[in-house]
Structure 1
């Protein structure tokens, strides 16, 4: 009798397992993926991704894995109901959050946040429109002080670009136009005193550049420099 029950429960467990497996990686009448899907790397038990489709459309939470990830996903997408938007998070192989933001299909949109490697403090905040950088990008020191601010328009640097010391002192002031350095450039020391000032044109130093020490000009250079010709 005991042997009968062992065999019976073994058959039931096998049947349940088989049914569960048959419920994975299914398609609907139109051949579109539907229900829970799981894919593995070739010749491996390591998951590549897992998630749920609704007649070919991703819904709910999707998890993506690298070949060495084991149980820690390298990326997680959480699709928002009745929307094409998904909240996306990227992780290290040990499971630490690297960055997060929204995606519309394959395009980044809205604010994206990146974190420092050795802490959970924010390293960078940047904004996207239709997959391209748009607006101000801000980078931070680990202590939370701003280290750099730069503006973007349609994916290209445009406008002021400011750098700060860990103490919050402005140490560099530049300008960009169409992704190239363009216009006045000023460099400061740790006390906020001007040490260099000049001008950029099409990404290159142009015109008169002045170098200061103790508030006085100690060197002047003009760009582009004349080409020296051999005798």
Structure 2
């Protein structure tokens, strides 16, 4: 296994599967703005919403925070929340090291993909804003069950023609980390090792390159 310090690097894996928001794309400020607006509108404590929503599809967060809403109302609220996010790109950029890392993966021909809880439209908008062109995107529309279910990561591995156990998943939330580990992948975690749930922590994405 190729290592930088005590960390494996991308050379150790058949493919690399990235979460999008907070991992490849810094959309934290835009996400927080939109969910604070939703919290005010629906009479929910904003701090509780921000603690609960990372890694989850919008409708799932709505259902968790407002269990009194019927499924039709939950779906409508989720769609409205996505509409807010489609139009707020202020401050949406690539995370530190993201462009360097994906360029290295492209240069070496190592397969990689994005697996996100965003829908197809939001994923495309944010990746474009960050200047990232992913060869494969598995969005929320492509799966039946969102994270923490492993379906998305398993599907990405299948479409890349690799075994999930030979993949590195890169995440920034415990929810996404749970999905990656359930898929059988090794998980690298940003933001304190994705809450300490990942197999190993990352300070920056370039830690995954053997020769930065």
Bigger radius of gyration: 1
TM over 0.5: no
Considering fraction of residues, name the structure with more helix: 2
TM-score, normalised with respect to structure 2: 0.23
Considering fraction of residues, name the structure with more strand: 1
Higher relative contact order (CA closer than 8 Å, sequence separation 6+): 2
TM-score, normalised with respect to structure 1: 0.21
